[in-house]
Amino acid sequence: MSDHRSSESHSEQPGTGSGHETGTRAGQTGSDPLELIEQCLGSFPDGDPRQKILYKLRHAVMVSQAANQQREAEFKKLSEVAAKLTAPANRIGTLLDIPGEGLARILVGGAEYYANVDPRVPVADLKIGTQILVNEAYVVINTLGYDRNGPILKLAEAMADGRLRFEQEMGRQPLILQRSSDLVGVELKAGDEVRIDPTARIAIEKLADRKAGKHVLDDVPTVTWEQIGGQREAIAAIRKAIEYPLLHADTFKQFKFSQPKGFLLYGPPGCGKTLIGQAAAGSLSKLMRESQGSDVQAAGGRPPVTSGAFLHVKGPEILNMWLGESERMVRDLFAQARARRKEGALPFIFIDEAESVLGTRRAMRSFNISNTLVPMFCSEMDGIESLHDVVIILASNRPDLIDPAVLRPGRIDRKIKVARPDREASGEILKVYLTEELPLHPSVVSERGGELRQVVASLVNETIDAIFKRTDENRLLSIRLRNGQSNVLYRGDLVSGAILSSIVQRAKEKAIDRTIQSGEPAGLSAKDLFESVTEEFRQGEMLPPDDAAEEWLKLLDHQPEQVVGISSFRRGRQSEERLVSQII
C-alpha cells in the first residue's frame, strides 16, 4: 500500500505542476477577461451548453469595457479643461535683446527682465521687437510675431550705429529707438514713415510712401514717335537734343559738348506735350539699353541701363498745406529717381502743369510756396550731371509764369514749343484716330469707292475741310487790335490734337448709338464726323470773364498786348464786344 500511495503521490505531482504552469500562463497573458473567456471556450467541446453562457458573458464584458473607455476619455477631457481654467495666465512681453544663448532681455508690463528661454522655442523665431509669452517664472515659452499695431512717426535721422532718431510734435521729447531684426540693413532716410511698437522701444517696419508711389510707373511708356501725328518740328527738336548725344557720342566728346538734362515743352493745351514727353522717355530708354556697352554709357561708373522708370508728376499734386511737406516731396522725388538709377533704370521726371509748382517767386512780405519750393527744385537739379542720371521734362501752358531760375541754361537747357497743328498736321493727327480697322458705313464706301485706305484718306480730308474752311459758320472769335484792325479767329485757328481726338470719339458714339437703336450695320459715316465737328466747337465756345481775358488769350497762343476787344460768335449771332484794355 505504501507503494500505491507513493505512486499516487508521484502521479499527483505532475498534475500539481501542470496546474501551476497553467495559472502562470494565465497570469502572463494578463487579467483581460476576454482572453480568459476565449480560453474557456476553447477548452469546451462543441455543442457544450456552457458555451452559450460564455458567449453572453463575453458580450457583456465587451460592452462594459467600451463604456469604461468612453468614461476615461471624457474624464481626461474634463481634467484638461479644468487644468486650463485653473492655470495662471501667461504674460505678453516684448523681446528687446538676446544677450546670450538661452537668455533674453524682455519688457513685460513696463518693467525689464533678464529671463531664460525655453529650449523648445526655435532660435530663428527670437527676433528683436517681436511679442513673446512668459510663464509665472518669466521664462520665454513662445513667440507671437510682431505686433501689427503701433504709432507711426517720421524719421529725423538714421544714426551711424543703426539707431533711429524721431522728432515728435511740440511739447514731446524726441525718441531714439533701436531697429527690429527685420529692419536691420534696411535703408532709411529722413522723412520716412516708420511704425514703432506700442511700448515705443523698437522701430518695427518702414512704411511705403503712398504719395511717391503714385508717381512711379513700373515701365517706361510705350508711346512711339509714329503714334504722334503732326508736331514734326517739336519732335525733331527733342529727338535731336536727346538722341544725338548717344548716337554720335564721339563727335560730342570732341567738342566737349555738355549734354542737356532738362527740357521744357510749352504750348497751348491739348497739343501733345504729354505724348511727346512719354515718347521721348521711351525712345531714350531704348537707345540707352542698346548702347549700354559703349564708353558713353560706362562713363562715371554708372550701372548699365536695363529698364526705365517714368515718374509722372502733376503739378498740383506736390502742393501741400503743411509747412515743409511740398519741399519734402520734391526732395523725395529726386531721391527716388536716383535710387532707381542705381538699380539700373533710367528715370524720367515728367512734371505736368509745371507753372503751378515752379511759379515766379514773389516778395517775402507775404508767404508764397514758390519762395521755398523753387530753390529746393533748383538745388536738386544742380546735383544732376546730365541725362545719363535723370532726365527732367517740364510741360506747361504758361511758360511765362515759371520762375526764370528754373528755366536758365544749365537746368532746363532746351525750350521746345508744341504749337497748334496746321491743316497738314491736323490731317496726320486724324489719321492716327481714323484707322482702316474702324468699321465704315456702307454709304461711305459706296460713295467714294476704291481701296479702303483711299476711302479713309478721303474721309479725313473732308473732315479737315469742314474744320478749316473760312465760312461764317466756322467763326469763333473776333479780336480788335490797337491799330483799329479786327481779326476773326476760325475753328482751324484754335484746333488742337485733343479736339481732333474728341471729334472722332463723338463720331464713334453716334455710330454706336445708331447701331444699337436701329439695328443697322455698324459703321462710321461722314455725317457722324461733320456733326461731331459742329458739336465739339459749339460746346467749346466759352468767352472768359473780363478780368481773365488776358490769361485766356495767352492760353489760345495769341499775345494779348495788342488786343483791346473780344467778341464771340455763338450760333451765327455776334455777341456784345468785351473790352480788355483795362487789364492790359
> Model-level pTM?
0.64
The pLDDT tens digits for 202-249 are: 999 998 766 555 555 545 677 888 888 778 888 888 888 877 877 777
At 84, list the grid cell. 486650463
Which of the 8 DSSP states describes residue 441?
A: -
At 555, list the grid cell. 492760353
* Lowest-confidence pick of 205-209, 420-424, 557-561: 557-561
Task: State yes or no: pLDDT of 146 exceeds 70.
Answer: yes
How far apart (Å, rounded) are the C-alpha atoms in residues 443 and 520? 12
Task: State yes or no: pLDDT of 310 exceeds 60.
Answer: yes
Q: Name 179's Cβ contacts closer than 8 Å, sequence gap at least 6.
A: 128, 162, 163, 164, 186, 202, 203
Instruction: Return the exposure string of 472-511: e unless at least 16 CB atoms fall within 10 Å of the residue's CB, then b.
Output: eebbbbbbbeeeeeeeebbbbbbbbbebbbbbbebbbebb
What pLDDT is recorded for position 281? Answer: 79
Percent of the chain, pLDDT > 90?
A: 14
Over range 256-269, report the average pLDDT. Answer: 83
pLDDT tier at 3 (50, 70, 90 boundaries)? Answer: very low
At 311, list the grid cell. 515718374
3-state SS track over 334-353: HHHHHHHHHCCEEEEEEEEC
Q: Which of 554, 552, 563, 544 is nearest to 266 (CA)?
A: 554
pLDDT tier at 8 (50, 70, 90 boundaries)? Answer: very low
Asked if 516 and 523 touch (Cβ cutoff 8 Å), the reply is: no
How far apart (Å, rounded) are the C-alpha atoms in residues 412 and 377? 12
Residue 401 vs residues 1, 450, 560, 563: alpha-carbon distances, Å = 147, 52, 15, 20
Query: Cell numbers 469707292 label which residue?
Result: 449
Chain-centroid distance of CA 86 in Å reads: 51
Task: State yes or no: pLDDT of 79 exceeds 80.
Answer: yes
Helix (H, G, I), strand (E, B) or coil at 294: coil
